[in-house]
A and B are shown apart, each in its own frame.
Chain A
Amino acid sequence: MIFDVKSIREDFPILYRKVNGKPLVYLDNAATSQTPQQVIDVIVDYYSKYNANIHRGVHTLSQEATDAYENARRTIQSHFNAKHPHEIIFTSGTTHSINMIANGFASLLKKGDEIIVSALEHHSNIVPWQMLCEKTGATLKVIPMNSEGELIISEYDMLLNENTKLVFVNHISNALGTINPIENIITKAHDVGAAVLIDGAQACPHLKPDVQKLNVDFYVCSAHKICGPTGIGMLYGKEEWLQKLPPYQGGGEMIAEVSFDKTTYADLPHKFEAGTPNVCGGIAFGAAIDYMNTIGFETIAQYEGELLEYATTELLYIDGLKIYGTSANKTSVISFNVGNIHPYDLGTLLDKMGIAVRTGHHCAQPIMDFYKIPGTVRASFMFYNTKEEIDLFISALKKSIMMLS
C-alpha cells in the first residue's frame, strides 16, 4: 500500500478543527491518539443497530452484539498472535490490566520474594507493585537507567535471583520513547523462573508485538493509544497463568454456578470479566486494530521514523534546547526543555497557537528526578502527523521562547 498522509488525515475529522483560532496541530499522541471515522462509525453503528447485553440474551440483538464482541476478541488475538482467544481479557485499560495482575499475584507472593520494575516506569506501573509489596512483604527492586534513558541490563542481571517472582517493564517508555530490550529481559527472567509482565501501552501504536515469539507471560495495552476509544484495553495472559490467578472482581459473567455454599468460577476469559463489559468499546477496539493493520505497521514505523528524524534535527537547531531520551532505539516521542524555561510556560503558549503537546512529569517522576528537572515538554507523533505540522510546531516554539526570554 502506498502511504499517502493526506488521504489518511481525511479519516480523522478532529484534525480539521481549530484551537484558539488556529488549525489544530495535535502532538500529544502518546497521551491519547485520535479516532478515525472508520472506528467512529462502528461506535455509532453499535448504538444505532444492535446495542444489547451480551452472553445472556437469546434474542437477536444480544446474539449480534455477542458475535461482534467475540469477533473483536479474535481480531485482537490474531493481531498479537496469542494462542487462544480466551487469553485476551478485555479490561478498562492498561492501568486496570496491571492492577488485575498485581491483585492476582497477591495470593502467590510471600515475604522474601522479589519484584523487579524498571526506572522508566509510568506511575501506574510503580504504585500497584508498591501496594502489592506492602500487602505480601515482597521487596521491590528497580533496574536503573543511564543518561540516554536506556535501562542498564548489566544491573538487571545482578538483580535477578531465585527469589525474583515477577519482572515488570514497559515495552516503550512514555516519557522518553526508549524501546526497551524486552526479548532479553524476558529470557533472563524466565531463566530464574520469574514471570514477566510487559506494559505495551506506548508500543502498540508503533509496532506489532508477537506474544508467542516474545514468550511473554502477560502483555497489556489500551485501545485509546491505537486509534480506539477510551475506557477499553486488554490483558494478554498465557493460559496457564490466567488459570492460576484468582479472579479480580466478583459479579455476573464471571461465575459458573452460584450457591450460598460455594461459587465456581467461569472459564477464561469470563473469570476476569465480571459484570456487563464495555461491549461497544471492545468492538471498536477490534475496529481500531483493523484500521491500523490496513495501513500496516511497517509503513507506520517507517513514516514515523522520518517524522522523528526531521523533528529532532529541526529542534536541535534551537539554542539551549535539550532532548531527554536519546537512545538510538526509540519511537516518535521527543521530550525536551529549552534553557531554564519551565515546560508549563512553553505548553501554555504553544496551546495559544493551536499546538497540543504534553508538559509536566508525564506521570514518571522518578525519570524527572534522575535528570533533576521539574518536567519536560513532550511532542509525540503518529502516522497522521506531517512535516508541515512539525514546521508549525517549531515556529510556534520559537515564538514562545522569544516571548518568555
Chain B
Amino acid sequence: MMTIAELQNEIIDEFSMFEDWEERYQYMIDLGKTLPLIDEIYKTDDHIIKGCQSKVWVHAEMENDKVNFTADSDAIITKGIIAILIRVFSGQHPKDIIDADTDFIDKISLKEHLSPTRANGLVSMIKQLKMYAIAYQTQLN
C-alpha cells in the first residue's frame, strides 16, 4: 500500500501531464464517472456534507485498522474531486489521515475549489474525512 504522500505525488505527476484546463477537467469528469459509489443505504441526509451547490454523501468503515471511504455527489466535477480524495485517503490508517496535509490540491491547480465561495464543499469534504479518521482513531486508542 502506498503512503498518502506517495499517492499525492503520483496524482501531482498525472496532472502535470495536462497542458490546459480542458484536459485537467476532462480527466476529473472521467474520474467522477468511475468513482466507486456509496451503497444506496448510506445516501441519506445524515451522510450528507452540505456544500451550497452540490450534494455530497460520504460513508466510512474501518477494517483491519484502515479506514475505507465511499462517496457520491449529484455533480460530476465534485465527484471527480471526491475520487481524488478517496484515492489518497481510503485504505489508510486513521492516524495518517489525521496527520496528512492537503497541499497537493494546490499543486494540481484545483486550488480554486478550496475557496469557500466555490461552496462545493471541498473544504468540508476534507474536514469530514478527517473527522471520520479522528473518530476511528479514538476507537483504536
A interface residues, Cβ below 8 angstroms from B: 20, 341-345, 347-349, 352, 359-360, 374-375, 403-404
Contact = CB atoms under 8 A, between A and B. Distances in A.
B25 A344 contact: no
Contacts, number: 41
Name the prevailing secondary structure of the A interface residues.
helix
B22 interface: yes
Nearest to A342: B75
Nearest to A351: B112
A99 to B, nearest CB: 22
A404 B29 contact: yes
A362 to B, nearest CB: 11
B25 A403 contact: yes
Interface string B58-91: 0000000000000000111110000000000000
A336 B120 CA distance: 20
Given A374-B55, A375-B53, A403 B75 contact: no
A360 B78 CA distance: 14
B9 interface: no
B26 interface: yes
Size class of the contact patch on chain B: 10 to 19
Interface of B: 21-22, 25-26, 29, 52-55, 74-78, 120
A374 B76 CA distance: 14
B21 A345 contact: no
Given A20-B21, A352-B21, A404-B76, A344 B54 contact: yes
Contacts of B74: 342, 374
A375 B29 CA distance: 20
Contact of A344 (B26, B29, B77): B77
Contacts of B21: 20, 352
Given A342-B75, A344-B75, A345-B76, A360 B25 contact: no
